Structure 1
């Protein structure tokens, strides 16, 4: 059985790039300002990796570390919570389009906290029981009420029409096939382009009968290139190098800090 001839449909549209605003913008600016002040005073307490992790987190949601203190109880509360992030608003728009088409989607996220937030909120909004596949998911089920990774995928694919599964790009890169989904959202991008490509390839397998669409929502800063923009540039550069030479290396914290002028 041959796989349908198709190409990677990378969706770079205005709807997938928005300026951060409100508390998200204020939080982002504060992190940058605090780092620059500490650097000017030659204080070694603020490490580059810690700053990058903070910028990545606020780019996902300005209260990513606080949501579990008061999780949403209703779909409206969940939507209001996601509305605090322009990036997650883009995700909601993407999901609305996929739902209208009654198709399925994989959302890739590297941070377990984000994976959990997405499950909590999207379960409420869409009345789903979304599976999360990450390093904690078992390759083989050890309990009667526990699904293996492949069991989660089977359950995800068996639901008629629209459905969502959340996956870590690292966990997804190990022998999994998810041809029931024909949409991929790289919400939180892996710093290694090879890992991201392996994750995307989960839906490009024998048995895939639909065109596959890859969505890359990008959060912008109104005044200068954001964390997302700089990471995208570095990943694109490394991907081009890999086409010409060898398997690309991951983006380093030094490269990202330098690209951001920090």
Structure 2
């Protein structure tokens, strides 16, 4: 039994995990580019599928390995080495640069300092003041709502009279796409938010005359109902010249190939850098014959750190650990969320 995209069986209590483990097979292989996405429980779950009880029960694994390693105690290197030796006979790990000759990949950094607009600043301050007022009154969940609102304000201020000048990230996008259009190249825009997807689709129709395809959780996966997601993407790739497709990081972050695109724009950021890198790898994979350019446009202010700047710093620090599968590229904890605010 071979499982591709095996990180989907990382949650011990999930139905897909239980279904995979219920299959009777003499030999099992789990293929994944991100064996540890959130915590070392992901690793335990994969190995419990491959060879049950290799790492003991989940409670035993948590006590002996996960907690000491994730707490980053001084002595955790010895525990990490012990865990490496335990799984080494079962692991064949190859990085992309080990097995494929690909063109260069470039991260464009000059888009990480897009100046906040006056309207965005006003809305941002209002959200901050509302958060302080509601939190002092003991309202629950106000921090997550405030962060979501700040995130959306940075992406685009949804106000009735807002113009493109009030949305500097959208203005940056138009200018960037104009440059890419002159090169006759293709673009993937990633955002998981439906409101942003709809806004961008309308914007690109108005500015470029493109009836852009959006692929998200609503898109068909059953070919009997209509084009599959890969079918929709293949149609996008077969179109000659400049074109843009909008994808959900969550719904289409893995499992599809879009090598005809060589510009990847993360219009809004994922909480998890591993998922972001998976999304980028829809274009940066075997079969890509052009240099790939990756953009993380971020709204910034001179007098304070915006949500997007703080999130970028946190994701960058976590991404530096990405090559070590035993040092989890974790999603943001409550403490990290508080540090963003």
Deviation of 1:165 after TM superposition, in Å, equals 0.2
Q: Which runs of 5+ in 1 are unaligned?
A: 71-79
- 4+ residue segments displaced more than 6 Å: none
Alignment of 1:22-171 (within 5 A): 22-39=118-135, 41-45=136-140, 47-63=142-158, 81-143=163-225, 146-171=226-251
After superposing the two structures, state which structure 1 stretch, 199-208 or 238-247, moved more: 238-247
Highest relative contact order (Cα 8 Å, sep 6+), 1 or 2?
1
Larger Rg belongs to: 2
CA RMSD of superposed structures (Å)? 2.1
How far apart are the structure 1 equivalents of 2:298 and 2:204?
20
The equivalent residue for 2:299 is 219
Cα 1:119–1:99 change in 2 (3 A) is same
Shift of 1:16: 4.4
Structure 2 stretches lacking a partner, 5+ long: 1-98
Q: Tell me the distance in 1 between the aligned counterparts of 2:107 and 2:170.
A: 19
TM-score normalized with structure 1 length: 0.85
In the alignment, is the contact (CA less than 8 A) between 1:35 and 1:46 conserved in 2? no
TM-score normalised according to structure 2 size? 0.66
Per the TM alignment, residue 4 of structure 1 is displaced from its structure 2 partner at its CA by 4.4
Count of residues in Structure 1 that have an aligned counterpart in Structure 2: 242
User: Are residues 1:232 and 2:312 paired?
Assistant: yes
Q: Secondary structure at the match of 1:238?
A: helix
